[in-house]
Amino acid sequence: MTKLRLGVNIDHVATVRNARGEGYPDPVRAAEMALAAGAVGITAHLREDRRHISDADIDALAVICRKRGRPLNFEMAVTPEMEAIALAHLPHAACLVPERREEVTTEGGLDVVKGHNAITPVVRRLVGAGIRVSCFIDADPAQVAAAAAAGSQVIELHTGAFCQAVRERSPDASRLLDNLCAAAREGARLGLEVHAGHGIDYETVKPVAVIPQLRELNIGHFLIGEAIFIGLGPAIQRMRALMEESRAVNAA
Ligand code: PXP
């Protein structure tokens, strides 16, 4: 089975920094450590309200990722402001996400079906600038088809509902995993590269990582939390080991 890459989202290093208005902990230092520990690339979400990652963080992350030849995955709402920032930085990848100010985190996928007319031209302009564009969507075949029709090369499947169901020991977990598998198959059938992310921890990474069509996982909050106890490098190494073990078991 093909290798599964790990992108590390460092947003919540900035959350801790911003809680005290200090200059530490520095998300750029976390990005350097993540790359050294085996993350393939760095993911950061510049939210409209700048609650964690700042414009200056994106400037600095773009510089270090370029210097190290590693991908920066810029998570962005579909707004003129974010599009202009993406086009100014030309990150390796942009992941289009829905954003509501009052949400605690990205609660659901982007509705590409409903938002088709607004999203398609943005996808086209970003792709035209050489950015690999991903749509962060729920595991729904209609959303997969709409993301492909909009011209995105990648879909990232929202694993949040599945991960939460696992944590709550809900009987919905197996149905939600089936939906993720079906959406991944459909994405690959349409020629899209398939990624997944949101809410993944050491337990939920295992059933997600075995989905054969997946090429990349983006994981943040759990890793940054775990870093408090064991350090960021070891947390990333353990996550990567679990991903590799799960892929190997399935391939055997
Ligand atoms: N992928 C996307 C598109 C996201 O918006 C997020 C959260 O910012 C993640 C992955 C990572 O989710 P988590 O921080 O829960 O691991």
- What CATH code is carried by the domain that includes residue 182? 3.20.20.70
Lining residues, ligand 1, CB within 6 Å = 9, 11, 45, 75, 95, 97, 105-106, 136, 156, 197-200, 218-222
Number of domains in the chain: 1
225 CA distance to ligand 1 middle (Å): 14
Of 12, 52, 75, 226, catalytic: 75
Per-residue pLDDT, 99:
83
HEC profile of the chain:
CCCCEEEEECHHHHHHHHHHCCCCCCHHHHHHHHHHHCCCEEEEECCCCCCCCCHHHHHHHHHHHHHHCCCEEEEECCCHHHHHHHHHHCCCEEEECCCCCCCCCCCCCCCCCCCHHHHHHHHHHHHHCCCEEEEEECCCHHHHHHHHHHCCCEEEEECHHHHHHHHCCCCHHHHHHHHHHHHHHHHHHCCCEEEEECCCCCCCHHHHHCCCCEEEEEECHHHHHHHHHHCHHHHHHHHHHHHHHHHHHHHC
Q: Is 92 part of the annotated catalytic residue set?
A: no
- How far apart are the CA of 219 and the centre of ligand 1, in A? 6
Q: 74: CA distance to ligand 1 center in Å? A: 11
Across the 252 residues of the chain, what is the mean pLDDT of every consecutive 10-residue run?
93 97 96 97 96 97 96 97 98 94 77 96 98 98 98 98 98 98 98 98 98 98 98 98 91 68
| Residue 130: predicted pLDDT | 98
* pLDDT score at 82: 98
Q: What is the pLDDT of residue 236?
A: 98
Task: State which residues form the domain around 46.
Answer: 5-251
Residue whose CA lies nearest to ligand 1 atom number 5: 106
Task: Let me know if 198 is a catalytic residue.
Answer: yes
